[in-house]
Each structure stands twice: as structure tokens, then as C-alpha cells.
Amino acid sequence: MVCNRKNKYKLDRDLLKLKQSLVGHHFVDKSFNIEVLYGARCILLNGEHGNCNAAHTHKNVLVKQVVIHPMFLYDFCHSGDIAILELEQPIQFSNEHDTKLKRNETTVADFGCLPKSDFQVEGELSLPGFGSDPRNEDDPGLEKANEKWLKYINVTVAESCLGFIGKETYQPEDGLCTQSTEGVLCTGDSAGPLVFHLNSRKDLILAVHSKAMECSDSKDFLETNEDDRLLLRLNKHTDLRYHLTWICALTGVCTEEYNEEDLIEKPVVLF
């Protein structure tokens, strides 16, 4: 694959066939039934005890096919950490209220807008997640939580991904790092949308959350010096502004005009 400065992709056909074979063999078996769990506002941590009811827990939907970005394979998993799913059934909204994702009242599901390639980030962003909770640590002196609620964790764009948790020494072109201003994102929050709130009725999905701290490590980091606490609040995301052509080619959702020859003719698809 060749990526030019204008983010227009062309695929090497022989290499594509090789990668298709590799992916099909190592990642997904055709006999697997893949499901997406969505819409969880609350998760139970202690069996059946807790205040989560059926309206708060996740919904299930089968996946028809998964499309992984070619860069994820070509760049040894450093970049292109994004996939597009085709679902067997449409996402179900329980009522009109549940289609609106508000800052202080996270609901089951919501629609989001794509940015343009030249969109400039100004101000605070947020990402819905469950984050870390000291009550979940193995500490006999703390009362264990029975459930955990989804919330918005506010972040601002960091200058660089270098020095990130895990001794990050390489920043991919599509890497976007943020620093949490409150709360801590954990690895279980991956694949969540990095959201810029345009207004009360419209959210812009700027990136997909890729990497954060292991939840089990957060307590140790919080008890050490200020530099470590800063690292704890760094998060890595895959910037959608670098993948708009790919998204447009596969889904038909396009934020800009593209020439037909600029679009991917055959993506890497997992069934």
C-alpha cells in the first residue's frame, strides 16, 4: 500500500492477497460467531448484585463481516488500529431519549459525525468509558463496588505520543494522544469514540481509542511521583482524519469529494 500526503490509498494487489491469507488464518476462523456488545451504561462487578437493570446492560448483535485497515498489518500494528464492522441487524434504540448522548447522561447508543481532514481541534474532548476505580483493587480495607457506570472522561490533546505508557518510542502518522484532565481511561475502554461536542445535538467523532493504562497498574502509578501520574493520564487514539478515504470507500459515508481512482477497490475483509 502507498499512502501519499493527501491520504489517498492505493493497494499492492499481490501483497493484499498475502495479507488476506495471513489475516484469515491468524485472526478469525469462519466457524466463529462474532458478536458486538453495545449500549452498556452499567456493568455488574459482583455477580447478580448491584443496581444495573436490563435497560442499563449491553445489547448483542451478530457481525456479518469485519474489515481491518491494511496499515495495521503493514505497520506491525503500530498504526491503522481501526476496523469497520458490517452487522447482521441494525442497532436498536429503545426510545427517542436513548438516541441522544449527553455529557452528563450517557445513554444506550448515539449517532456521530465524521470530521473533515482539515478540522482543527480546539478545546476539550471527551471519551465515554468505565475507567479505573480504586474500589476494584485488591484491598481488604475498601468496600467492593457491585457495579460500575459509564461516564465521560474529559481529555485535551497532548503534544506527542512519545514517552507514552509502555515506553512508546514511535509515533505513527495517524496517532493522536490525549491527556486526561479528570478520571483515568483503561485498556477495557479501547474502541470508544474520542468525541468533540459541536453542540447539544451533534457530536463529532475525531478518533477511536486505541491504548491506555492497564487498570491493574493504575493504583501503583497513582501512589508514585507526579511524573508517573502524568503518564497515567496519557491516552493513544487512531485519528479518523487520516482514514476518511478508506471509510468513504467502504461505507459510502464521505466528508469530502474523492476521485474514483483514489478509493480502495478491494479491502482486507475477515468473514
What are the sequence ranges of the domains in the chain? 2-270
Residue 47's pLDDT is 64
Any residues with CB less than 8 A from the CB of 78 and at least 6 apart, and which? Answer: 170, 172
Residue 98's pLDDT is 41
Q: How far is CA 130 from CA 109, 177, 184, 201, in A?
A: 15, 19, 9, 23
- The span from the CA of 171 to the CA of 126, in Å, is 22
As a 3-state breakdown, the chain gives helix, strand, coil percent values, each rounded to 5, of 20, 30, 50
- The span from the CA of 44 to the CA of 195, in Å, is 26
Report phi then psi at 240, rounded to 5. -70, -20
Stated pTM of the model:
0.70
To 5 degrees, how large is the angle CA 21–CA 10–CA 195?
Answer: 90
Per-residue DSSP letter, 78: S
Sign (positive or negative) of CA dihedral 64, 30, 1, 240? positive
Assigned C-alpha cell, 229: 501520574
The CATH architecture of the domain made up of 2-270 is Beta Barrel (2.40)
CA dihedral 65, 68, 69, 73 (to 10 degrees): -150
Closest CA to 239 of 5, 81, 77, 125: 81
pLDDT tens digits in sequence order for the chain, 271 residues long:
222 333 333 333 333 343 343 333 234 444 457 787 777 777 777 666 567 777 777 778 888 888 888 887 776 667 888 888 888 888 765 554 444 444 334 445 667 888 888 888 888 898 888 776 555 555 555 566 677 778 888 888 887 776 655 555 567 788 888 887 777 777 677 788 898 887 766 788 899 988 766 665 555 555 555 555 555 567 888 999 999 988 888 888 888 766 555 554 444 333 3
Residue 239's pLDDT is 93
Any residues with CB less than 8 A from the CB of 152 and at least 6 apart, and which? Answer: 103, 104, 106, 126, 127, 128
Sign (positive or negative) of CA dihedral 150, 161, 249, 71? negative
Per-residue DSSP letter, 58: -
Burial of 154 (0-12, 13-18, 19+ CB in 10 A): middle
